[in-house]
Amino acid sequence: MLPRDIDPITFEVINNGLDSLVDEMALTIMRTAYSGIVKDAMDYSTGFCDRDGRTIAQGLSIVLHLGSFPAAVASIIDKYKDSIYPGDVFILNDPYTAGGIHLPDIYVIRPVFESDRLEGFACTLAHHTDVGGIVPGSNSTNATEIFQEGIRIPALKLYEKGVANETLFEMIATNVRLPRNVLGDIRAEVAATIIGEREYLRLVKNYGADEMRRHTDALIEYSEKLARDEIINMPDGKYEFASYIDGDNIDTGPVKIQVKLVVESDEIVVDFSGSSPQVKAGINSPLPFTQSATYGSIRQLMDPSIPNTVGFSRPIHVIAPEASVVNASLPAACGARGITGFRAMDALFGALAQIAPDRIPADGEGGNTIVSIGGYDSSSEPFAFIDLFAGGRGARPTCDGPEGLTHPGSNNSNTPVELAEVETPVRIEQYGLIIDTGGAGQFRGSLSQVREVRCLAEEGVLQLRSDKRRFRPYGLNGGEEGNPSLNILNPETDDITLPAMGVATMKKDDVIRHVMASGGGWGNPYDRVPEMVFDDVWNEKLSVSQARTQYGVVINHQTLELDLSATEKLRSDLR
């Protein structure tokens, strides 16, 4: 499958060298970043593009980020053309002028030269704690236009020929609430691009610049060929599915993500026509983000050994209507657009389940819930607690949905309790699983999780981005829906139910409780092995009464013994 003049051993060494390069960049960011959202929650990504801006390697980071690097690099190439020099470092975040995906995600990109010839781009992207705007954390779901969301950075030179643009550094620092963290994280990205440059030039030194070009071109073609081989084995046809965002803070109501997936020969067309128009809320998705969601979803069905280059996405064609929630136009707000990317992936998985029903899991919690509390502490210093809370996955065709595993579009971690309490004026009051919440099925969805956060500052702005309350996680092949999400302010006293998305004020000692949606089930619950139901009861994931009601399994309340003969009779009656 490789060109005859490409040595397969050298090819593999270069391929693995590129993979190691971008992963070393990712580790550099994690080890040198300042903000918890980056170093602890790991909301960042790395990649390497060739001289034409084509991705040739992706770090083990966030799926919803990775497909956007070509658009970001293209904005640099288009704008600067022949004025890109060794020592330059570019910065950008704007979706409407520079290929960005929302303002908190700041790209730092370094062109890599060998003997004054451009060879590629070392790319980083990190979600920054704050970039200004109407709420701390800059992710307001209530923003109605991007001008309310923070500082917009077109493709600019952060460094030119190795000299820092101190004016730009000062401009950024002046427009954000936490300049120390933001500038520290930007410098962590810069450091990672230095690592990327160093390691790529090491490969160039070993093999020569022309040989590297030849091999990276072959790598792109190779991954495209393997992707086409995967697609041609999928049954031709049209497959449709829709997912929804609750939209309880939007005047026009729920938001629809409609997808039609057309497989023909070795190509796939993904058409989002029929999705809702863009809305006056901060959830609109720029096109590069929707493209990332699409490529990442279909990639789940492909051989994981296929190199992660732009080649695997070439047979996938995305149609997204302009000025829609999946292809936002200025001035649409997009600070919380992650929820739309997750719903796009959920819709695609629903369509893909019709192609490969034995490989696609049921629906899960809907991606990260974001609980943000920001304001000023007792020393009048600004703070922003941002928690990415996830891990309620749907059941798989062969096993239960895992607890604690994040949505496939993401690779984040929730904020560790101890670090959150040390770095911000909050206290985590509760964190655990909730019994009797997993979607029933032959294989059970993961349980709902609960997390309670107490505000210790005198006052804070609470921003919630959650979902799956009205439109619950779907089951597959006869499996039942998951349980809905819930937000409660002061559950032991005021017991105020808050919308799935929106902004509220917290006073000192107020508590926000978020209950995450649980995973949907896969298969008929009466086909679940009784011993698996018994294990769930023993492990306090399921009550004795729900074992009987949901699964038709009889367990003695007093002795907790499984009665197989009574179970067989009950299931026969229920069927």
* pLDDT tens over the chain, length 575 residues: 677 788 999 999 999 999 999 999 999 999 999 999 999 999 999 999 999 999 999 999 999 999 999 999 999 999 999 999 999 999 999 999 999 999 999 999 999 999 999 999 999 999 999 999 999 999 999 999 999 999 999 999 999 999 999 999 999 999 999 999 999 999 999 999 999 999 999 999 999 999 999 999 999 999 999 999 999 999 999 999 999 999 888 988 999 999 999 999 999 999 999 999 999 999 999 999 999 999 999 999 999 999 999 999 999 999 999 999 999 999 999 999 999 999 999 999 999 999 999 999 999 999 999 999 999 999 999 999 999 999 999 999 999 999 999 999 998 888 889 999 999 999 999 999 999 999 999 999 999 999 999 999 999 999 999 999 999 999 999 999 999 999 999 999 999 999 999 999 999 999 999 999 999 999 999 999 999 999 999 999 999 999 999 999 999 999 999 999 999 999 999 88
Average pLDDT over the chain, rounded to whole? 96
Q: Are residues 543 and 511 in the same domain?
A: no
Parent domain of 553: 537-574
In angstroms, rounded to a whole number, what is the distance separating the alpha carbons of residues 279 and 146?
12
Domain endpoint, select from 494, 511, 528: 528
Percent of the chain with pLDDT over 70: 100
Q: Residue 459, CB half-sphere, CA atoms under 13 Å: how many?
A: 3
Does 283 map to a domain?
no
- Gyration radius of the chain's alpha carbons: 24
Q: Are residues 457 and 549 in the same domain?
A: no
Q: Are residues 559 and 436 in the same domain?
A: no
Q: Are residues 512 and 433 in the same domain?
A: yes
Q: Are residues 55 and 193 in the same domain?
A: yes
Distance of CA 84 to CAs 121, 176, 250, 269, Å?
11, 28, 43, 35
Does 237 map to a domain?
no
Amino acid identity of residue 537, one-letter, is V
In angstroms, rounded to a whole number, what is the distance separating the alpha carbons of residues 337 and 282?
6
Does 72 map to a domain?
yes
Q: Are residues 423 and 552 in the same domain?
A: no
Q: Are residues 569 and 433 in the same domain?
A: no
Does 478 map to a domain?
yes
Does 239 map to a domain?
no
Does 172 map to a domain?
yes
Give me the number of domains the chain comprises. Answer: 3
Q: Are residues 135 and 20 in the same domain?
A: yes
DSSP 186: H
Q: Are residues 451 and 556 in the same domain?
A: no
pLDDT in tens, 433-474: 999 999 999 999 999 999 999 999 999 999 999 999 999 999
Read off the tokens for 446.
């993961």
Does 566 map to a domain?
yes
Q: Are residues 36 and 133 in the same domain?
A: yes
Domain endpoint, select from 192, 224, 256: 224
- CA proximity to 193, closest of 104, 131, 106, 71: 106
Q: Are residues 31 and 62 in the same domain?
A: yes
Does 167 map to a domain?
yes
Q: Are residues 565 and 433 in the same domain?
A: no
Helix (H) or strand (E) holding 4: none
Read off the tokens for 346.
């959920």
Domain endpoint, select from 170, 197, 224: 224
228: exposed, middle or buried (C-beta count within 10 Å: 0-12, 13-18, 19+)? middle
- CA proximity to 104, closest of 79, 132, 84: 132
